Chains A and B, each alone.
Chain A
Amino acid sequence: DTGVSQDPRHKITKRGQNVTFRCDPISEHNRLYWYRQTLGQGPEFLTYFQNEAQLEKSRLLSDRFSAERPKGSFSTLEIQRTEQGDSAMYLCASSWGAIGNTGELFFGEGSRLTVL
């Protein structure tokens, strides 16, 4: 098992362009999460899936953001009409079941977005 993988690791784009990030979770994990992290801050929750169902979306996830997990395996996060304020690290994580007493959320290394 190679853990959670994210692609691309780095993306530089011009304002107004669309970008898409992909996350491959640990294979047996049914939950997948997206977080955003800006410099000096902790990760902020964006959304999560249980299997293919998107169960929760943060108010941070504006209508320019869309996430999918079509077959309950990998997920994509698309940002349309990027703005400079979208520059951040986008982190994907996965878990088996609900976190809480089970403990572990496994994170990928993130996709760093820079919007010029």
Chain B
Amino acid sequence: DAKTTQPNSMESNEEEPVHLPCNHSTISGTDYIHWYRQLPSQGPEYVIHGLTSNVNNRMASLAIAEDRKSSTLILHRATLRDAAVYYCILISHGQNFVFGPGTRLSVLP
């Protein structure tokens, strides 16, 4: 399974942008980059995914480096509800998700 590296924890102030980094230097050409988050006492939920191009949705933006060896999840205005563990996962079609420990994001009021 392709491996990702994320910081253990990050802090942000409420209403400020948050950039959550993920390194995946061994990514293969068929690996999609997925981000999930897990709020306290809940199961993980989908945030965003992409292959090569940057992606935007109502929750976040995903910026993918040109060489695809790293990516950044961008929360444009952090709210207290965004406090969660964020997982960056690489997956090819037909594989199953392998979750690492993720990044625990704290949002300060």
Contacting pair B101 A40 (CB below 8 A): yes
Residues of A that sit less than 8 Å from B by CB: 4, 33, 35, 40-45, 48, 56, 91, 93, 98-101, 103-110
CA distance A43 to B46 in the complex (A): 14
| Chain B interface SS verdict (over half) | loop
Inter-chain residue pair count (beta carbon < 8 A):
58
Main secondary structure of the interface of A (DSSP, over half): loop
| Known contacts A91-B43, A107-B43, A109-B43, A101 near B96 by CB under 8 Å | no
User: Which residue of chain B has the shortest Cβ distance to A44 in the bound complex?
Assistant: B99
Q: Produce 1/0 per residue, B45-83, CB < 8 A to A.
A: 110010100000000000000000000000000000000
> Taking CB as reference atom, which chain B residue is nearest A55?
B96
Known A107-B43, A107-B45; further 8 A-B contacts with Cβ < 8 A: A42-B87, A43-B44, A44-B99, A99-B96, A99-B97, A100-B91, A100-B94, A109-B42
